[in-house]
Copies of this chain bind each other. A is one copy, B any other.
Amino acid sequence: MTGKLAGKRVLVTQANDYMGPQSVQTFRGAGAEVIADVSDLTEPEAAARVLAEAGTVDILLANLAAPNHHGVAVADVDDEIWASAFDVMVHPLHRLVRATAPQMIARGAGKIIVYGSATPLRGIARLAAYTAARGAQAGYVRSVGTELARNNIQMNLIAQNWVESDVYYPESLQENPKFQANLKREVPLGRLARAEEDCALALFLAGNDSDFFVGQVIPFAGGWVS
């Protein structure tokens, strides 16, 4: 197999959701051997089991997504909505990293890329639980990215917003003229990103050309934040 990532083994989580399908396609297209995992990672033992079965993982693509419950006022965010944000997006991130880091440290090489969110960088009303959970991911990457850099492991987070996905921008929303007007007003580039563009950034971060990026929260939002 040839390609930029030939010989590399990549684990993509929630491979059927959010950025999962495009990630699998993009990374296979780059010559990587992709493990497309579809486990329910809210189960506490799942992450360790997935890694144990995966064997060597050169690149971890932490793709963790849930409904964002946009529009619920903060006083109405009940314990279930609140907990689910952390159960899906935050706790599995740590369990995945905890299970992956030792083998990367042993080899003195590795890449961890988190599909995160730009919302902790620019607040959106009525998005409390989601933004808190995405903020936890960002804080985690800042600390752990700094820590693992010493072992030549590069961990970074894509702080995205306005990226096409069934979870957050279903077709019905995209067809709404008010949404389109809002998009033009809020996003300087004036359009959503395609999933391929998002995964092209992940691919850049997965290669050794980008080793000097560590612990970063990288805005990817068409100019909505910069």
Contact = CB atoms under 8 A, between A and B. Distances in A.
B139 A74 contact: no
A204 B221 CA distance: 16
Contacts of A209: 197, 200-201, 204
A218 B219 CA distance: 9
Interface residues of A, number: 77
Interface string A116-130: 000111111111111
Given A74-B97, A211-B197, A126 B147 contact: yes
Interface of A: 44, 73-75, 77, 79, 82, 86, 90-91, 94, 97-98, 101-102, 105, 119-150, 152, 154, 163, 188-190, 193, 197-198, 200-201, 204, 209-223, 225-226
Shortest Cβ-Cβ A-B pairs, 9 listed: A135-B139, A123-B142, A120-B139, A123-B146, A125-B147, A131-B143, A149-B188, A136-B136, A200-B209
